[in-house]
Protein backbone atom coordinates (compact mmCIF):
# COMPACT_ATOMS: atom_id res chain seq x y z
CA UNK A 1 0.00 0.00 0.00
CA UNK A 2 2.77 2.45 0.98
CA UNK A 3 4.73 1.54 -2.15
CA UNK A 4 1.72 2.29 -4.33
CA UNK A 5 1.09 5.56 -2.45
CA UNK A 6 4.69 6.66 -2.92
CA UNK A 7 4.58 5.74 -6.60
CA UNK A 8 1.34 7.70 -7.06
CA UNK A 9 2.80 10.75 -5.33
CA UNK A 10 5.93 10.59 -7.51
CA UNK A 11 3.82 10.30 -10.65
CA UNK A 12 1.68 13.25 -9.55
CA UNK A 13 4.78 15.36 -8.94
CA UNK A 14 6.15 14.52 -12.38
CA UNK A 15 2.83 15.44 -14.03
CA UNK A 16 2.39 18.61 -11.96
CA UNK A 17 5.97 19.91 -12.26
CA UNK A 18 5.48 21.75 -15.60
CA UNK A 19 2.32 23.41 -14.29
CA UNK A 20 4.09 24.46 -11.10
CA UNK A 21 7.02 25.88 -13.07
CA UNK A 22 4.63 27.75 -15.37
CA UNK A 23 2.76 29.19 -12.41
CA UNK A 24 6.03 30.30 -10.86
CA UNK A 25 7.12 32.01 -14.05
CA UNK A 26 3.87 33.97 -14.11
CA UNK A 27 4.34 35.20 -10.55
CA UNK A 28 7.32 36.74 -8.82
CA UNK A 29 10.71 36.50 -10.45
CA UNK A 30 12.07 35.60 -13.86
CA UNK A 31 12.73 32.19 -15.36
CA UNK A 32 14.18 30.46 -18.38
CA UNK A 33 12.33 31.47 -21.54
CA UNK A 34 11.09 34.83 -20.20
CA UNK A 35 11.58 37.95 -22.30
CA UNK A 36 12.16 41.29 -20.54
CA UNK A 37 11.59 44.53 -22.42
CA UNK A 38 12.67 47.83 -20.88
CA UNK A 39 12.37 51.50 -21.79
CA UNK A 40 14.83 53.82 -20.06
CA UNK A 41 15.79 57.44 -20.01
CA UNK A 42 19.59 57.50 -20.08
CA UNK A 43 22.25 60.11 -19.37
CA UNK A 44 25.36 59.57 -21.52
CA UNK A 45 28.42 61.06 -19.83
CA UNK A 46 31.59 60.84 -21.98
CA UNK A 47 34.87 60.14 -20.22
CA UNK A 48 37.26 61.67 -22.75
CA UNK A 49 40.85 60.75 -23.48
CA UNK A 50 42.47 62.09 -26.64
CA UNK A 51 45.59 62.37 -28.75
CA UNK A 52 48.14 65.09 -28.16
CA UNK A 53 46.77 67.03 -31.16
CA UNK A 54 43.22 67.00 -29.80
CA UNK A 55 44.50 67.77 -26.31
CA UNK A 56 46.26 70.84 -27.68
CA UNK A 57 43.04 71.97 -29.38
CA UNK A 58 41.04 71.42 -26.17
CA UNK A 59 38.47 69.13 -27.81
CA UNK A 60 35.50 68.18 -25.58
CA UNK A 61 32.29 66.16 -26.13
CA UNK A 62 29.04 67.16 -24.44
CA UNK A 63 26.70 64.92 -22.41
CA UNK A 64 23.37 63.76 -23.84
CA UNK A 65 20.03 62.55 -22.44
CA UNK A 66 18.07 60.20 -24.73
CA UNK A 67 15.61 57.26 -24.60
CA UNK A 68 16.90 53.69 -24.70
CA UNK A 69 15.19 50.39 -25.56
CA UNK A 70 16.49 46.97 -24.57
CA UNK A 71 15.41 43.33 -24.69
CA UNK A 72 16.64 40.48 -22.49
CA UNK A 73 16.03 36.80 -23.26
CA UNK A 74 16.53 34.46 -20.30
CA UNK A 75 18.49 31.43 -21.54
CA UNK A 76 18.56 30.06 -17.97
CA UNK A 77 16.68 31.05 -14.83
CA UNK A 78 19.49 33.40 -13.78
CA UNK A 79 21.30 34.02 -17.09
CA UNK A 80 20.10 36.33 -19.84
CA UNK A 81 21.28 37.88 -23.08
CA UNK A 82 20.47 41.58 -23.50
CA UNK A 83 20.47 43.72 -26.64
CA UNK A 84 20.54 47.49 -26.04
CA UNK A 85 19.42 49.99 -28.68
CA UNK A 86 19.78 53.77 -28.51
CA UNK A 87 21.17 56.65 -30.50
CA UNK A 88 22.37 60.08 -29.41
CA UNK A 89 23.82 63.28 -30.87
CA UNK A 90 26.85 64.95 -29.35
CA UNK A 91 28.33 68.39 -29.91
CA UNK A 92 32.10 68.79 -30.03
CA UNK A 93 33.80 72.00 -28.98
CA UNK A 94 37.40 73.21 -28.97
CA UNK A 95 38.91 75.85 -26.71
CA UNK A 96 41.14 76.85 -29.63
CA UNK A 97 38.66 76.60 -32.53
CA UNK A 98 35.21 77.03 -30.96
CA UNK A 99 32.19 74.91 -31.96
CA UNK A 100 33.21 71.97 -34.16
CA UNK A 101 29.66 70.76 -34.89
CA UNK A 102 27.81 67.58 -33.99
CA UNK A 103 27.85 63.85 -34.69
CA UNK A 104 25.30 61.08 -34.15
CA UNK A 105 26.35 57.93 -32.31
CA UNK A 106 24.60 54.56 -32.70
CA UNK A 107 26.08 52.04 -30.21
CA UNK A 108 24.14 48.72 -30.22
CA UNK A 109 25.45 46.61 -27.34
CA UNK A 110 25.11 42.88 -26.62
CA UNK A 111 25.56 41.72 -23.01
CA UNK A 112 25.57 38.42 -21.15
CA UNK A 113 23.90 38.96 -17.76
CA UNK A 114 23.73 37.14 -14.45
CA UNK A 115 20.59 37.90 -12.42
CA UNK A 116 20.86 37.48 -8.66
CA UNK A 117 17.74 36.42 -6.70
CA UNK A 118 15.98 35.66 -9.99
CA UNK A 119 12.90 34.25 -8.21
CA UNK A 120 12.40 37.34 -6.03
CA UNK A 121 10.95 40.79 -6.52
CA UNK A 122 14.27 42.65 -6.13
CA UNK A 123 16.71 41.31 -8.74
CA UNK A 124 20.22 42.82 -9.07
CA UNK A 125 22.23 41.85 -12.14
CA UNK A 126 25.69 42.18 -13.66
CA UNK A 127 26.52 42.09 -17.36
CA UNK A 128 29.49 42.06 -19.70
CA UNK A 129 29.65 42.11 -23.47
CA UNK A 130 30.62 43.88 -26.65
CA UNK A 131 29.67 47.21 -28.18
CA UNK A 132 29.65 48.23 -31.83
CA UNK A 133 29.58 52.01 -32.36
CA UNK A 134 28.62 53.64 -35.65
CA UNK A 135 29.21 57.38 -36.14
CA UNK A 136 26.89 59.03 -38.67
CA UNK A 137 25.26 62.29 -39.79
CA UNK A 138 28.30 64.23 -38.71
CA UNK A 139 28.64 67.92 -39.41
CA UNK A 140 32.09 68.35 -37.90
CA UNK A 141 34.12 71.19 -39.35
CA UNK A 142 36.68 73.90 -38.79
CA UNK A 143 35.51 76.91 -40.77
CA UNK A 144 34.67 75.65 -44.27
CA UNK A 145 36.83 72.53 -43.95
CA UNK A 146 35.21 69.31 -42.81
CA UNK A 147 36.58 66.97 -40.15
CA UNK A 148 36.49 63.32 -41.25
CA UNK A 149 35.93 60.64 -38.60
CA UNK A 150 36.29 56.86 -38.58
CA UNK A 151 32.80 55.48 -39.00
CA UNK A 152 32.84 52.55 -36.58
CA UNK A 153 34.57 50.86 -33.68
CA UNK A 154 34.24 47.81 -31.43
CA UNK A 155 34.81 47.81 -27.69
CA UNK A 156 33.91 46.04 -24.43
CA UNK A 157 30.96 46.96 -22.24
CA UNK A 158 30.19 46.39 -18.54
CA UNK A 159 26.86 46.74 -16.76
CA UNK A 160 25.28 46.69 -13.29
CA UNK A 161 21.64 47.23 -12.43
CA UNK A 162 18.56 46.13 -10.55
CA UNK A 163 14.95 45.30 -11.47
CA UNK A 164 12.28 45.83 -8.79
CA UNK A 165 8.99 44.06 -9.50
CA UNK A 166 5.97 46.25 -8.71
CA UNK A 167 3.21 44.17 -10.34
CA UNK A 168 2.79 40.71 -11.84
CA UNK A 169 4.68 41.48 -15.05
CA UNK A 170 5.83 45.06 -14.42
CA UNK A 171 9.08 46.26 -12.88
CA UNK A 172 11.12 49.43 -12.50
CA UNK A 173 14.79 49.48 -13.42
CA UNK A 174 18.01 51.27 -12.52
CA UNK A 175 21.00 50.58 -14.76
CA UNK A 176 24.61 51.76 -15.10
CA UNK A 177 26.90 50.88 -18.01
CA UNK A 178 30.47 51.60 -19.02
CA UNK A 179 31.13 51.43 -22.76
CA UNK A 180 34.46 51.83 -24.54
CA UNK A 181 34.21 53.56 -27.95
CA UNK A 182 36.59 55.60 -30.06
CA UNK A 183 37.02 57.34 -33.40
CA UNK A 184 39.91 58.72 -35.39
CA UNK A 185 39.69 62.21 -36.92
CA UNK A 186 41.45 63.98 -39.77
CA UNK A 187 41.31 67.61 -40.91
CA UNK A 188 42.33 67.76 -44.55
CA UNK A 189 45.69 66.01 -44.69
CA UNK A 190 46.28 66.43 -40.95
CA UNK A 191 45.68 63.44 -38.71
CA UNK A 192 44.18 64.68 -35.45
CA UNK A 193 44.58 61.28 -33.80
CA UNK A 194 42.19 59.15 -31.77
CA UNK A 195 39.37 60.38 -29.57
CA UNK A 196 38.24 57.92 -26.87
CA UNK A 197 34.70 58.75 -25.72
CA UNK A 198 34.23 55.82 -23.27
CA UNK A 199 30.97 57.02 -21.66
CA UNK A 200 29.35 56.07 -18.39
CA UNK A 201 25.61 55.63 -19.06
CA UNK A 202 23.10 55.94 -16.22
CA UNK A 203 19.50 54.92 -16.90
CA UNK A 204 16.15 54.75 -15.10
CA UNK A 205 13.09 53.14 -16.62
CA UNK A 206 10.30 50.57 -16.56
CA UNK A 207 10.06 47.07 -17.96
CA UNK A 208 7.61 44.30 -18.81
CA UNK A 209 8.04 40.52 -18.51
CA UNK A 210 6.60 38.38 -21.30
pLDDT single digits (tens) 99-158: 888 899 999 999 999 999 999 999 999 999 999 999 988 778 887 888 888 889 999 999
Q: Which domain holds residue 184?
A: 2-209
pLDDT single digits (tens) 21-42: 444 444 589 999 999 999 999 9
**Residue 159 maps to which CATH number?**
2.40.160.20
Q: Answer positive or negative: Cα dihedral of 192, 198, 199, 205.
A: positive
pLDDT single digits (tens) 56-107: 878 889 999 999 999 999 999 999 999 999 999 999 888 888 888 889 999 9
CB 59 within 8 A of CB 103: no
pLDDT tier at 48 (50, 70, 90 boundaries)? confident
pTM: 0.81
**What is the tally of structural domains in the chain?**
1
80: nearest Cα among 54, 57, 117, 114: 114
Amino acid sequence: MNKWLRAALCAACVVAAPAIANAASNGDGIYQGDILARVRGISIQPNISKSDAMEGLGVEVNNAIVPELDFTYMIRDAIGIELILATSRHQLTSTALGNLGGVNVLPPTLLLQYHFNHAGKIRPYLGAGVNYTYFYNDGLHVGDQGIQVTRSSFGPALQAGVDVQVAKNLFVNLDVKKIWMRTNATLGDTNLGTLHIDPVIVGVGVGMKF
